[in-house]
């Protein structure tokens, strides 16, 4: 009888312990914080941009409002007093940094080129969130602003706003759907970027007319610096010294003193190295060629640099006159 009583006490104790454990487990499971797993759900077009002349670095800035930067859900009308706690993995800015670079590499952008000639893509993340409203469902939004700078950190592609959105009807507790909406909105934002326009700056144009505002900087990253000019300077009598200088009426190009070139007859093919020169300001720049020979009067001729660019030639002939003194 004593043994039976002890058995019943143990059974009751175990039963209460089991029930307590079940309640505790149920309570724990009901308070598990949902997680939105960020992922790049759309692939970029592979090798869309190949053999570009220049690389591009990417710099990211978190410009989200302070009260939104620490969370990804901040509107949810199922919760009257507060929004639900949601984990985000990975963290938004580290995800954008890694995924956008991977997206760009897939298209063919070189993100590891020479820093001296690289362009810079500045990306500012303004919004990155997903919210729930009854009757509408989950709504994801990504807003970013981008700018492109050349290797001299001159703005070549002005500030442009890009956006990605996605809306799906569904239950406010369906965080799998919320994850899908958030990732789709981000993918749509990447597709909203004018990658063709960005790639344009990374390719040297075949003609200076196609990049009229790119300045010669001595680093070979403009069409002007790769434009071959045929020089043909002669005189009668031959054997005269030739020198040349730059005369400029635009502040972007500095005037230069005479520099010795060679003696006549002179024929060569050379490229331009006039710092600050662009196709658009070439009409305000001239080259003056001076021809000198002992016993003869000096002569000089001026040429419009714009005409030289269009004709790809500098041609001059000097018929020297004896100095009778």
Domain boundaries, the chain: 32-201, 208-319
State how far the Cα of 292 lies from the Cα of 262, in Å rounded to an integer: 11
Write down the pLDDT at residue 68: 67
Tell me how long the chain is.
Answer: 325
**Count of CB atoms within 10 A of residue 23's CB?**
10
Enter the pTM of the model.
0.68
Write down the pLDDT at residue 23: 44
State how far the Cα of 244 lies from the Cα of 265, in Å rounded to an integer: 15
Residue 126 has pLDDT above 50, yes or no: yes
Q: Which are the contacts of 113, defined by CB distance < 8 A and separation ≥ 6?
A: 54, 55, 56
Classify strands 137-149 and 155-168 as parallel, antiparallel or unpaired.
antiparallel
Task: For residue range 40-79, list pLDDT tens digits in order.
Answer: 999 999 999 988 888 999 999 999 987 767 789 988 988 8
Q: Residue 120's Cα: distance from chain center in Å?
A: 5
Task: Decide: residue 36, CB within 10 A, 0-12 exposed, 13-18 middle, 19+ buried.
Answer: buried
Name the residue with tokens 């434009």.
227
Task: Please state the rounded mean pLDDT for residues 203-208.
Answer: 84
Write down the pLDDT at residue 201: 86
Q: Mean pLDDT lowest for which of 80-89, 296-305, 314-323?
A: 80-89
Q: Which are the contacts of 123, defined by CB distance < 8 A and separation ≥ 6?
A: 58, 59, 60, 61, 96, 100, 144, 145, 146
Task: Decide: residue 45, CB within 10 A, 0-12 exposed, 13-18 middle, 19+ buried.
Answer: exposed
State how far the Cα of 27 lies from the Cα of 22, in Å rounded to an integer: 8
Q: For residue 116, what pLDDT band results from cuts at 50, 70 and 90?
A: low
Encoding tokens for residue 146?
């981008």
Q: Residue 126's Cα: distance from chain center in Å?
A: 17
Q: Class of the 32-201 domain?
A: alpha beta
Name the residue with tokens 């003056």.
288
């Amino acid at each position: 009888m004593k043994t039976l009583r002890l058995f019943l006490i143990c059974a009751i104790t175990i039963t209460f312990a089991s029930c307590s454990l079940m309640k505790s487990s149920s309570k724990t499971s009901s308070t598990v914080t949902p997680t939105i797993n960020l992922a790049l759900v759309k692939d970029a077009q592979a090798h869309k941009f190949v053999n570009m002349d220049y690389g591009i670095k990417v710099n990211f800035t978190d410009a989200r409002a302070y009260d939104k930067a620490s969370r990804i859900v901040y509107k949810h009308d199922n919760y009257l007093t507060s929004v639900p706690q949601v984990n985000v993995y990975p963290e938004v800015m580290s995800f954008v940094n890694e995924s956008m670079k991977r997206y760009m590499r897939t298209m063919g952008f070189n993100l590891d080129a020479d820093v001296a000639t690289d362009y810079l893509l500045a990306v500012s993340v303004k919004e990155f969130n997903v919210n729930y409203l009854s009757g509408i469902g989950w709504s994801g939004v990504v807003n970013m602003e981008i700018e492109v700078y050349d290797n001299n950190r001159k703005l070549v592609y002005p500030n442009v706003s890009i956006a990605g959105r996605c809306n799906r009807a569904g239950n406010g507790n369906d965080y799998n759907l919320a994850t899908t909406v958030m990732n789709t909105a981000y993918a749509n934002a990447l597709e909203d970027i004018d990658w063709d326009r960005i790639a344009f700056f990374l390719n040297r144009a075949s003609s200076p007319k196609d990049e009229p505002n790119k300045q010669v900087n001595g680093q070979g990253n403009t069409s002007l610096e790769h434009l071959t000019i045929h020089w043909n300077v002669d005189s009668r009598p031959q054997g005269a010294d030739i020198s040349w200088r730059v005369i400029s009426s635009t502040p972007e190009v500095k005037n230069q003193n005479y520099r010795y070139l060679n003696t006549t007859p002179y024929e060569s093919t050379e490229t331009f190295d006039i710092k600050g020169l662009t196709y658009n300001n070439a009409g305000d720049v001239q080259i003056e060629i001076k021809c000198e020979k002992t016993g003869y009067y000096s002569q000089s001729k001026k040429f419009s640099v714009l005409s030289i660019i269009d004709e790809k030639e500098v041609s001059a002939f000097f018929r020297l006159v004896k100095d009778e003194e």
